[in-house]
Amino acid sequence: MKLQFFKYQGTGNDFVILDNREGSFPKSDTQLVAKLCDRRFGIGADGLILLENDETTDFKMVYYNADGEEGSMCGNGGRCLVAFAHYLGIVDKETTFNAVDGLHYAEVEGDMVNLKMVDVDQVHEKPAYSFLDTGSPHHVQLVKDLGHFDVQKEGKKLRYGLYGKTGSNINFVEQEDEETFQVRTYERGVEDETFSCGTGVTAVALAMHTAGKTKANQVHIHTLGGDLAISFEQRAGGYTNIFLKGPAIQVYKGEIEC
C-alpha cells in the first residue's frame, strides 16, 4: 500500500498528517501508526493525524500518539490540521471542526493558527503542583533551573508513579516575568520529552493564573521549539474562551510504501 503523507510542525511538535476523507486508512492498525511515527524505521513524528469528513463541521480530527494509540486532544496537532485544511482549500480564514474533545473554532493568519480550546471547569491545586484537563490531562509543576532539569527522568517518574496506567502529560515550568513562562513537557504516548505541547502550555497558563503567579489574561510561553500565546477569560471555578496561538508549518510531503 502506498500512502501519501504530509509532515507538519507546530513549535517543533511534529506530526504526520494524512488526508483520510475517502476513509481508506486502516485506523485500528496500531503498529502501522507507530511505524509511521518511528524516527528510525518510519517518517518520524510525535503523533499522526487524520483529516476526515464530518457531518456537521468543516472536518474531523483523529489523533494518534507516536505509540500508535489514539490519544486525547492535541493542541499543536489541531493547529497543524487547521493549516493543512487551509492548504487543501477546505477552509479559508475561519473554521469549526470536531475533535475527540468536541467542537473547535480556529482562525488562520498567514503561518499562524489561533485555536479555541475546550472550556476548563476545574484546576486541582496541590501544594507542589496542579492538575487539569485541557482536552488532555496535564500535571503542571514549577521547578528551578528548567534548562538543566532532567525532564525525561522526572517526567517518567511522575507519569507512571502519580497517575498510574492511564498516566498524564507532565509539564515543568519556570517563570520569566509577570506574563511569561518557560515550559518543558514529558508527553504520555510519546513517553519522552517533546519540543512543545499545545494542551500542555494551555494548562500551564491556566494553572499559573489560578495559583496567582500571573494576573494577565494573555500569557506567553517559551518552549524548546518556539513561542506560543494563550489567552483566556476566567469564570466561576474555571476558564472559557481559551485560545492557543502559534505557528503551524508544512515541512514536506511524500509517499511511503507500507
Ligand X SMILES: N[C@H](CCC[C@H](N)C(=O)O)C(=O)O
- Active site amino acids: 74, 197
Residue 198 assigned to a binding site: yes
Residue 171 binds ligand X, judged by CB under 6 A: no
Residue closer to ligand X by CB (options 21, 154) is: 154
Question: How many other C-beta atoms lie within 10 A of the C-beta of residue 102?
Answer: 10
Task: Report the alpha-carbon distance of residue 52 to residue 6 in Å, rounded.
Answer: 15
Segment lying near ligand X (by CB under 6 A), choices 99-107, 123-131, 191-199, 204-212 = 191-199
Residue 20 assigned to a binding site: no
Task: Report the alpha-carbon distance of residue 240 to residue 151 in Å, rounded.
Answer: 30
| Contacts for 105 with CB less than 8 Å, ≥ 6 apart | 94, 95, 96, 115, 116
Residue 13 binds ligand X, judged by CB under 6 A: yes
Residue closer to ligand X by CB (options 75, 155) is: 75
Nearest-10 crossing angle of helices 75-88, 198-210: 130
Residue 39 assigned to a binding site: no
Residue closer to ligand X by CB (options 21, 229) is: 229
β-bridge mates for residue 13, sequence order: 10
Residues 106-145 that bind ligand X (CB under 6 A): 136
Measure the CA angle with vertex 201, ends 93 and 116; round to 5°.
Answer: 30
Residue 180 assigned to a binding site: no
Residue closer to ligand X by CB (options 65, 130) is: 65
- The nearest distance, CB 132 to ligand X, in angstroms, is 13
Residue 32 binds ligand X, judged by CB under 6 A: no
Residue 189 binds ligand X, judged by CB under 6 A: yes
Residue of 114, 130, 141, 199 interacting with ligand X (CB under 6 A): 199
Furthest-apart CA atoms within the chain: distance in Å: 53
Q: Residue 20's closest CA among 59, 55, 56, 46? A: 59
At 62, give phi and psi (nearest 5°): -120, 120
Residues 45-104 that bind ligand X (CB under 6 A): 65, 71-72, 74-77
Q: Binding site residues, as ranges?
A: 13, 65, 75-76, 169, 187-188, 198-199
Contact positions vs ligand X (CB under 6 A)? 13, 65, 71-72, 74-77, 136, 169, 187-189, 197-200
